[in-house]
Amino acid sequence: MKDEIVSTVLHEMMPLLDTGQSATLKEVLRAALCAYDIRKKETALMCTDQNGQNYLQVFLETFRQNGKSEGTISQYRLHIGHLLAYLGKNVEDIEDDDLIDYMHKYKQLRQVSGRYLNNMRLVFNSFFRWLQRRKVIMCNPVDGLEPIKYRKTVKKPLSPEELEKVRCACGKERDLAIVEFLYSSAVRVSELIRLNRDDICWQSDDVLVLGKGNKEREVYLNARAHLHLRQYLETRTDDNSALFVSTRAPYERLTRAGVEYILARLGQAAGVDNVHPHRFRRTAATDLLRMGMPIEQVQELLGHVKIETTRIYCTVTQEQVRSSHRRYMAA
């Protein structure tokens, strides 16, 4: 168990440490843990997998054919597979009370939020609705579950002042290049970490990214992103093809955890809360709409299939409403 903890920590810290530092951290962790008796907390429900896995595999394959990302498919496999294993019933025999019981116990064991449980309910609904359409089951047991209420929080974009504070907190060319790239391109962090140097077309400031469902789309660099990305790449002495790498040998490609860690540290240094990759995406979308870019074009830039998703990303401030009212109601 202790070795598992050490391995997990080292894996997450790999983008930020060189070989010597990793070795030192490994020894420190082992020394610190040796005096403790560690057991893994039991957070899993009892599983007796008997039925439904074949249906689940076909269901997930339809997701893959429809272009769903592997991350989404993994999430569905985890939640539905766990439910089927726990219940140990034929899918035709699963009732709404079974789901209510499962979700109640899941919440008790995992201490998850109402938002998390409601998302789980939606995952189950998608699977059982698919079974219903295929006439495997007559009724969808999720129909008997009420939507789970939870407190919705407004996800705010970075204000111009907050964005400038984060920029000023960047002590490394790489970190500033990441900030400017995320804001200019509005890419997902999963797209950012897959990019290579030769994905950049410097003449036109185009970047070809591979998005959800392996769909390619173009995003663009503004002048600041172009400048700071150039400056960062000129400081690099490694031969790694990745666009963003760790600052110490062996200069590994940055991982999702690495980028999130870098931005969180910048937020702390800047005194700005909740600085993470997705917030730059939301900020870019909101700012582009505020400046008059048609929402259909913002949708294309973000790589959204549905325009309703783009609307969720874009925050309208009270000041914008006030300004528009004065403009249109001037008479």
User: What angle, 0 to 180 degrees and rounded to 10, lies between the N-to-C axes of helices 160-169 and 256-270?
Assistant: 100
What's the confidence (pLDDT) of residue 310? 87
- For residue 6, the one-letter residue type is V
**160-325 topology per CATH:** hpI Integrase; Chain A (1.10.443)
The 10s digit of each residue's pLDDT in 93-114 is: 999 999 999 999 988 888 888 8
DSSP assignment, residue 242? Answer: B
Token pair recorded at residue 106: 């899941």
Model pLDDT for residues 261-270, shown as the tens digit of each residue: 999 999 999 9
Judged against a pLDDT cut of 80, whether residue 78 lies above it is answered with: yes
**What's the rounded mean pLDDT across residues 303-326?**
74
Is 70 a residue whose pLDDT tops 90? no
Tell me whether residue 64 is one of the annotated catalytic residues: no
CATH topology of domain 53-144: DNA polymerase; domain 1 (1.10.150)
Predicted confidence band at 49 (pLDDT cuts at 50, 70, 90)?
very low
User: Region 255-280: what's the mean pLDDT?
Assistant: 94
**Active-site residue flag, 104:** no
Q: Residue 150: pLDDT above 80?
A: no
The C-alpha atoms of residue 46 and residue 293 are separated, in whole angstroms, by 52
Say what the pLDDT of residue 263 is: 96
Annotated active-site residue 212? The verdict is yes
- What single-letter DSSP state applies at residue 209? E
State mean pLDDT over 145-165. 84
Specify whether 313 is catalytic: yes
CA distance readout (Å), 47 to 57, 74, 81, 104, 110: 18, 18, 10, 16, 15
Measure the CA–CA gap between 170 and 202, rounded to whole angstroms. 24
The closest alpha carbon to 305, from 192, 215, 218, belongs to 215
Catalytic pick from 79, 121, 174, 188?
A: 188
Q: Which residue has the tokens 């074949």?
A: 54
Average pLDDT over residues 28-45: 65
- What's the pLDDT at 320? 64
Tell me if residue 152 is catalytic: no
The per-residue pLDDT for 205 is: 95
CB 60 within 8 A of CB 77: yes
Give the pLDDT band of residue 43 (cuts 50, 70, 90).
Answer: very low
Quote the CA–CA distance of 219 and 191 in Å, as a whole number: 11
pLDDT digits (tens, 9 = 90+) for 114-140: 888 989 999 999 999 999 999 999 999
Buried-exposed string 57-79: b where 16+ CB fall within 10 A, e elsewhere: eebbeebeeeebbeebeeebbeb
CB atoms inside a 10 Å sphere around CB 15: 23
Calculate mean pLDDT across residues 211-239. 93
**pLDDT given at position 47:** 46
Which of 68, 212, 276, 311 is an active site residue?
212
pLDDT level of residue 291 (50, 70, 90 thresholds): confident
- The residue from 79, 165, 281, 282 that is catalytic is 281
Sequence-distant (≥ 6) Cβ neighbours of residue 327 within 8 angstroms: none
Which residue of the set 224, 278, 290, 311 is catalytic?
278
